[in-house]
């Protein structure tokens, strides 16, 4: 009997990660969910097992721990689980300017947003290549395509890294049947802005700039299946990227500085 595809989703307790779990389960995927909040993942697992009769494994890990990616992979191996889809979704923002936060805060951020997804991709790729099929979605951001703002200093930089990383992996692995894609959403309805304390500012933005997590995920799944190395969901977001690319750098930076005050915490 052909086994069902298995998807590993990081940051699966809420938002885009939980929506990936819902949509992939609906497509018949077994799931491995990982995040810090075990209770939320267990509740989601109960929901999806009942709705789609798929197998779901919950493995709580804090990806800020440098040992977590290896320990997560070892837990998969102990259970005989082979990853067919990797969704590197875990992420958050650090409010304030660069020097307003201590180094450990930045180090944890870089571990979660850059090092952990890189290591997880490195660990699952050999098996995907050997089996001749695999999908990796690195959840980046429109922020990785536009000038970095003041405040939340490392966020845009980390997302730009994921975009370039995904492009290289796409080129290296497409002949082996493995598709890699950077999914670059803009403003998305989720808990992200509640956690960063910017909800009041974000609610002032016009509704046409927002997408639901469901729409972001639907387009992201279609993009990686097509083999798109980079995909920006939403016409407004794609237009923003094109316009910024055509601007002189000085003008783009000026606009970034002006607009970032509307939705970033830039306090020292």
Q: What are all long-range contacts of 64-73, with beta carbons under 8 Å and residues at least 24 apart?
A: 64/108, 64/111, 64/112, 65/111, 66/111, 66/115, 68/116, 69/116, 69/119, 69/120, 69/123, 70/119, 70/123, 72/34, 72/120, 73/120, 73/123, 73/124
Spatial contact of 202 and 159, defined as CB atoms under 8 Å apart: no
Of the residues 155, 161, 231, 263, only one is catalytic, namely 155
Whole-angstrom Cα distance, residue 78 to residue 92? Answer: 30
Q: Where are the alpha helices (DSSP H) in 141-229?
A: 153-173, 192-195, 199-202, 213-226
Q: Specify whether 155 is catalytic.
A: yes
Number of C-beta neighbours around residue 223 at 10 A: 21
Annotated catalytic sites, by residue? Answer: 155
């Amino acid at each position: 009997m052909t086994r069902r595809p298995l998807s590993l989703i990081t940051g699966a307790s809420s938002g885009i990660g939980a929506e990936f779990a819902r949509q992939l389960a609906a497509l018949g995927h077994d799931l491995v969910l990982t995040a810090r909040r075990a209770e939320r993942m267990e509740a989601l697992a109960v929901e999806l097992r009942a709705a789609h009769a798929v197998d779901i494994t919950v493995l709580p890990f804090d990806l800020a721990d440098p040992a977590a990616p290896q320990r997560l992979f070892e837990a998969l191996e102990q259970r005989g689980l082979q990853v067919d889809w990797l969704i590197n979704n875990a992420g958050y923002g650090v409010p304030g300017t660069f020097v307003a936060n201590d180094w450990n805060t930045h180090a944890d951020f870089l571990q979660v947003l850059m090092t952990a997804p890189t290591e997880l991709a490195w660990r699952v790729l050999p098996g995907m290549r050997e089996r001749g099929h695999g999908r990796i979605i690195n959840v980046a951001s429109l922020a990785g395509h536009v000038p970095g703002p003041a405040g939340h200093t490392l966020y845009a930089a980390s997302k730009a890294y994921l975009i370039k990383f995904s492009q290289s992996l796409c080129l290296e692995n497409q002949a082996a049947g493995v598709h890699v894609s950077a999914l670059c959403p803009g403003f998305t309805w989720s808990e992200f802005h509640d956690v960063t304390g910017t909800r009041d500012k974000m609610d002032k933005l016009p509704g046409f700039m927002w997408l639901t997590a469901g729409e972001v995920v639907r387009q992201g799944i279609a993009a990686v299946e097509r083999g798109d190395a980079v995909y920006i969901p939403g016409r407004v977001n794609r237009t923003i990227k094109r316009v910024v690319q055509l601007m002189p750098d000085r003008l783009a930076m000026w606009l970034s500085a002006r607009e970032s005050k509307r939705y970033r915490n830039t306090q020292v």
